[in-house]
Amino acid sequence: MTELHLMTVAELSAALHAGRVSSVELTRALLARIERHDRALNAFISVDAESALAEAAAADARRHAGDAGPLTGVPIAHKDIFCTRGQKTTCGSRMLANFVSPYDATVVERLRAAGVVTLGKTNMDEFAMGSSNETSFFGPVRNPWDGARVPGGSSGGSAAAVAARLVPAATGTDTGGSIRQPAALCGVTGIKPTYGRVSRFGMIAFASSLDQGGVLAISAEDAALLLGAMAGFDERDSTSVELPVPDYTATLEQPLKGLKIGMLREFFAGLDPAIEQLIRAALALLHAQGAVVREVSLPNLPLSVPTYYVVAPAECSSNLARYDGVRYGHRCEQPRDLTDLYERSRGEGFGAEVKRRIMIGTYVLSAGYYDAYYLKAQQVRALIAADFERAFHEVDVVIGPTTPTTAFSLGAKSADPVTMYLSDIYTIGANLAGLPAMSVPCGLLEELPVGLQIIGPHFSEQKLLNIAHRYQCESDWHLRVPRGFG
């Protein structure tokens, strides 16, 4: 049998079902692996071995009683933005460093019901604001492929943990690329579903019209299994869409003959030729399976970065107003009065990037600037969404690179926020339009992973997972493991 840590969720599910391994044995093995490797990665903020082993024992009992599903007993990790009952939920911030959630987020609740075992909570950019996982109060996460480089953000802890095979899968959130970008930089599979497909209840808000929960895993098949358990209508989330959830695994093997792929012209302008070569090789592989590839243009897409960095900070300034030192979260010592309590609690609790975005957001929402910035950004957002809609009248999906570069060095962009923001230039458009999108590994450039991004129309997750799976049936980039973690 393949070593446990190298097995996908689908393979672990089969091994558990066949009785070749128990959930307790599997959980112990992965906990030991986290203990051995995570000091070098800092991928986890917290690990609860006692709770994980208790959940594993319950999963084994459930399986013995004949009440097991495909995910029963499979260990995963949660990004530390999902409220998890009885455990710390920090959002990578000093502001919530001691917050213990009294309830489960819907995503956590549904995965618990499916029988997964929670090993711990993964590190992240503070309040999901960042592209490198360097803004976390708990220190930066390191990329398993090269410890001197970033894993991407904000779901960098989840991506690094999966890439290093500390867990077979982990949850993440994506506001402007925060699942797909770290998935690309760490060489794993990541999917951001359609806005409203996965409940945001209990997922601590950054930008409410953009945030969406999703999955990071080894393979598209694994992502399909987990997304199927997570997705669905939730009356506690006013943005949740009331549509039935299909069986995402049922159509994975569907042939690609006749599939119309749009190659995004704007994504190839100025792209590193070596990355472009890998993307074109992936497109050639899909073409060999019967897909038709043609070039498409989204003329307003280059405006996605400035649009996003008006809309997202505006929403963050509103969402983070609740952290004032009064009800919960960090409170300063011995405040002189209420104003001092607010100012020092927020000043001490938030990091530099969060403060920067709160200030930008407050400015663009202020009287005299709302029309010039926020309203204009929402108008451009509508144009970007219309570009995608027009493209999907011509093609089934659009494909291009996930990121403009491979993983950059720790600290390389920390002093220049604008340069850092450009790391998400290829991913933001899907969030602004509320579209499903995913990244799959498609090669290595100087021993660093490169990601292929697939974007589809609303609620086309089945199609994206099918394309990704068919690609992974003909390639093995998703099975490559960083040196030292095999």
Mean pLDDT across 388-401: 97
pLDDT of 325 over the 80 cut? yes
pLDDT at 1: 61
Buried residues in 32-64 as b, exposed as e (16+ CB within 10 A) = ebbeebbeebbbbbbbbeebbbebbbbbbebbe
pLDDT at 415: 85
pLDDT at 102: 95
Q: Which fold has domain 4-255?
A: Amidase signature (AS) enzymes (3.90.1300)
What residues contact 312, with CB distance under 8 A and at least 6 apart?
175, 176, 206, 207, 210, 357, 361
Mean pLDDT across 166-189: 98
Maximum C-alpha span of the chain: 70
pLDDT in tens, 43-93: 999 999 999 999 999 999 999 999 999 999 999 999 999 999 999 999 999
- Determine whether 352 is exposed, middle or buried from the number of CB atoms within 10 Å of its CB (0-12, 13-18, 19+): exposed
Mean pLDDT for all residues in the chain: 96
For β-strands 437-445 and 117-122, DSSP reports them as: unpaired
pLDDT in tens, 186-235: 999 999 999 999 999 999 999 999 999 999 999 999 999 999 999 999 99
Mean pLDDT across 330-340: 96
Buried residues in 235-261 as b, exposed as e (16+ CB within 10 A) = eebeebbeeebeebbeebeeebeebeb
Token pair of 279 as six digits: 């993307």
Count the alpha carbons within 13 Å of 109 in the hemisphere toward its beta carbon.
Answer: 17
- Determine whether 415 is exposed, middle or buried from the number of CB atoms within 10 Å of its CB (0-12, 13-18, 19+): exposed
pLDDT band for position 417 (50/70/90)?
confident
pLDDT of 182 over the 90 cut? yes
pLDDT band for position 423 (50/70/90)?
confident
Q: What's the chain's length in residues?
A: 486
pLDDT of 457 over the 80 cut? yes
pLDDT at 327: 86
Residue whose structure tokens are 């592989």: 285
CB-based contact 24:58 (threshold 8 Å): no
Token pair of 144 as six digits: 């398993």
Q: Which amino acid is at 403?
A: T
Residue whose structure tokens are 């819907």: 106
Mean pLDDT across 84-106: 96
pLDDT in tens, 265-323: 999 988 999 999 999 999 999 999 999 999 999 999 999 999 999 999 999 999 999 99
Domain edges within the chain: 4-255
Question: What is residue 405's DSSP assignment?
Answer: S
Q: Which residues are tagged catalytic?
A: 79, 154, 178
Neighbours of 483 (CB within 10 A): 10
pLDDT at 421: 85
pLDDT at 452: 98
3-state helix, strand, coil in the chain (%, to 5): 45, 15, 45
